Amino acid sequence: MKKTVSILIVLITISLQAQNKKWTLIECVQYALENNISVKQSELDLESADIEMLTAKGNFLPSLNAGAGVSENTGLSFNPVTNNAQTTTFLSASGSVNVGYTIFDGLRNIRTLQRAEISKLASQYRLDKMKDDISLFVANGYLQVILNKANLEVLKSQNEVTNEQIQRTEQLVEAGSLPRGDLLEIQATDASEKQSIINAENSVQISLISLAQLLLIKDYENFDIEDEGYDIIDAGISNKDVSEILAQAKETRSEIKIAEQNVALAEKDLQIARGANLPTLSAFFGYNTRYANTTSFTQQVDPDNPTITQPIGVVEATGQTVVGTFPNTIVQEVSADPFVDQLYQNDGIGYGLNLNIPIFNGFATKASVKRNKINLERSKFQLEQAELDLESTVYQAYVDAKGALKSYEAAQLALESQQLAYDYAKERYDVGLTNAFDFSQSKLRYDNARIELNRSKYDYIFKLKVLELYFGIPATELKF
């Protein structure tokens, strides 16, 4: 009984720990990379590239095929061993082994293998890009939750101040120091703040659900994140020139590598298409044998009467009959040879070379070459466009990060100013030198300044990490 209770206590503790677990950003990113459907699809594409490479390697190996057959014939049939027509019932069997090997095929096998290697590399780059994109999506969703939580804390802390002001105002109203309108004004502020708190709580819950859905986590109710310890960590990227970031991006970003591999694939496709104009030389070797259990007939000399004398003609002048002596043969039925003996007796070998010279195939090869030339030019344009897009994206990310930093610094100054104004308004309100409306307006501006500082802070963090990603820092190594 005690053992059972102990087990139940352990299980309940583990369950509570699981429910109270708070996910860190690194855990969210790693979980997404392991479970995201798009990432899994890209991993399947990589496995397909491995299969393509295996097939390309197999083209260099000879083909080996074996065959066997068994049949029973009744009636008039040709004996597969003697090739004589017989009216009987017999069992026959045959077997063969054939080997083929391509000696030369216009270098298409070599280029197909090279193409498979390029295709695998392109699949790996696409997987890397997908992981980077998913990591950014998760980081953005994670920071959105932190932002919403920070704003909720701002609203809650300021509402506590409002409640304290309500209690103080009630005392002053009862003492006749302040008009009742001030109490009503601050109570209205309290009601508005509570409504904002409810909206902020909903925003937190919605952002948590969105992040959980991105991670494919279905336990929305118990899902939560670690919302402390995240600050602005600059690895020196903000001090770098945009040209340096762009040069690094062109060397490391998967978008450019994917476009470059697509050009290489198009070049190999063109070479493979041109290879169809060259002759193909192949070698073959074949071995076959057969067996039949039917009897056969042979003519042999009669041992008891080995010769016979028969007339063979007449002498025209005398009319004398001419006779001759001949072997006296008799027909004897012979049973089938043993199975193993027939395999050796009836086997055969064939080998040789096949040369196939393409002359005319309805312009199919010519059209294929032209089509692949067009695809090559198109892939080159796509590479050029990818470079232009990356340059535009990097410049935009650089400008966004710089703008976000300025916005964050401006928000800090604004908050300092609004805090001084709020402290001054609070002091005046406490001594009755300002009314509740003016005080609530000052407090509202202060609250908005704190919320704006949160927004600009996490916006700058995200845009700074985007810039670091373009600089070549892996998504899993970004520091927050």
* Per-domain residue ranges of the chain: 296-334
Encode the chain (480 residues) as per-residue pLDDT tens digits. Answer: 444 434 444 333 334 344 568 898 888 888 998 888 888 899 999 999 999 999 999 999 999 999 998 888 777 766 665 666 667 677 888 899 999 999 988 888 999 999 999 999 999 999 988 988 888 888 888 888 988 888 888 888 888 888 877 887 787 778 776 778 878 887 888 898 899 899 989 999 999 999 998 888 888 888 998 877 667 777 677 788 888 888 888 888 888 999 999 999 999 999 999 998 999 999 999 999 888 777 666 667 777 777 877 777 777 777 777 777 778 776 666 677 787 777 778 888 999 999 999 888 888 889 999 999 999 999 999 999 999 999 998 999 899 888 988 999 999 999 999 999 988 888 887 777 777 778 778 888 888 898 888 888 888 888 888 888 888 877 777 776
CA angle 175, 178, 181 (to 5 degrees): 125
**Strands (E) located in 105-167:** none
In sequence order, what are the residues at sequence separation of 6 or more whose Cβ sits closer than 8 angstroms to the Cβ of residue 38? 130, 134
What six digits make up the tokens of 405? 């930093």
CB 326 within 8 A of CB 385: no
- Please give the model's pTM, rounded to 2 decimal places: 0.74
The Cα 429–Cα 165 span in angstroms is 10
Pairwise CA distance, residues 191 & 47, whole Å? 59
Q: What SS3 state is found at 478?
A: coil
Residue 389 phi, psi dihedral angles, 5° rounding? -65, -40
Task: Mark out the alpha helices in 77-107 (DSSP H runs).
Answer: none
Biggest alpha carbon–alpha carbon distance for the chain: 179
> Residues for the chain: how many in total?
480
Q: Which amino acid is located at 170 in the chain?
A: E
CA distance 74 to 92: 11
